[in-house]
Amino acid sequence: MPTVDFAQLTDIGCVREGNEDAIGYWPHEDGLLFAVADGLGGHNAGEVASALALEILAREMDRAPGTWSIDKRLRRAIQEANIAIHQKSITVPELRRMGTTITASAVVGRELVTAHVGDCRLYRVRNGQLTQLTKDHTWVSEQVEYGILSAEEARTHPRRHMLTRSLGQHLIVGIDLLRTDAQNGDLLVQCSDGIHSLLPEAEIAQIIQGYPPQAACEALVQRARDRGGDDNMSIQIAAVIDAPPPATRSSSWWRFGR
Ligand code: MG
């Protein structure tokens, strides 16, 4: 059983009337799955989409055959969530055009597997160095990649929230899957854009290294509120304390608590 010290926090922010972010975590015998979703759509449809995404993620991870790899489970679970959100969005008038981003990470043994759609981010701090592991699926991030905008211009660009991918928009969604090692001492930070658009990376790195996970979550949310808190804010921090050898892939390899 890897020891992962985990904390999470979601906050409505200072401006929005509801919180359309959703967060969840599911410990299991070999590790931990944690996910953040940022809902979009008029009225309260965004919060329906983000909550549905996490509900289906947990259900499908639990249901998947024990022989499936974690990558396959995550990919399949998120495709199922996409289909469910898409179907609701075309059949229920008040949920029309709802959608959500999702970033879901599993620390299993010495492995980290992340499935990602949208503009929530996963960062890792290792040996004092912060790295963004996910790539934003946004219009501005594409422009930065093409060399049209600088990273600094992208941070304040009026179209910075425009997504190029999200769950619910089409029947099939492109999912980024990343798989890397988890080492003792790694700090993983998963957050919605309400946090990373207001706080520079250096500040995030400093806070998460300066406090235990729960206090760091509270400090990050407070800093983002101090800067105006113009969006819902969600943060999850996982500190890998003891990553054991890779788990054996038996049928009881992954069982979620219900
Ligand atoms: Mg947001």
- Compute, in angstroms, the gap from residue 129 CA to the centroid of ligand 1: 25
- Compute, in angstroms, the gap from residue 166 CA to the centroid of ligand 1: 12
Which secondary structure element, helix H or strand E, spans residue 23, and what is its range?
A: strand 21-28
Do 23 and 192 touch, CB atoms closer than 8 A? no
- Compute, in angstroms, the gap from residue 119 CA to the centroid of ligand 1: 8
Do 9 and 213 touch, CB atoms closer than 8 A? no
Give 21's contacts (C-beta < 8 A, 6+ positions apart).
Answer: 10, 36, 37, 38, 39, 50, 192, 194, 232, 233, 234
- Compute, in angstroms, the gap from residue 230 CA to the centroid of ligand 1: 9
Question: Closest Cα partner for 66 from 28, 35, 104?
Answer: 28
Three-state DSSP class for 123? strand
Query: How high is the pLDDT of residue 42?
Result: 72
What does CATH list as the number for 3-242? 3.60.40.10
CA–CA dist 49, 47 (Å, integer): 5
Do 79 and 46 touch, CB atoms closer than 8 A? no
In Å, how far are 9, 20, 63, 76, 116 from 87, measured between CA atoms? 30, 19, 21, 17, 21
Report domain extents, the chain.
Answer: 3-242
Query: How high is the pLDDT of residue 41?
Result: 78
Q: What are the mean pLDDT values of the chain's consecutive 10-residue runs (258 residues total)?
A: 87 95 91 96 88 97 91 97 97 95 95 97 97 97 94 90 95 96 96 96 96 98 96 97 59 38
- Compute, in angstroms, the gap from residue 19 CA to the centroid of ligand 1: 9
pTM: 0.92
- Compute, in angstroms, the gap from residue 2 CA to the centroid of ligand 1: 31
- Compute, in angstroms, the gap from residue 225 CA to the centroid of ligand 1: 14
- Compute, in angstroms, the gap from residue 252 CA to the centroid of ligand 1: 36
- Compute, in angstroms, the gap from residue 11 CA to the centroid of ligand 1: 11
- Compute, in angstroms, the gap from residue 195 CA to the centroid of ligand 1: 8
Cβ-based neighbour number of residue 18 at 10 Å = 12
- Compute, in angstroms, the gap from residue 233 CA to the centroid of ligand 1: 7
- Compute, in angstroms, the gap from residue 193 CA to the centroid of ligand 1: 5
Query: How high is the pLDDT of residue 246?
Result: 56
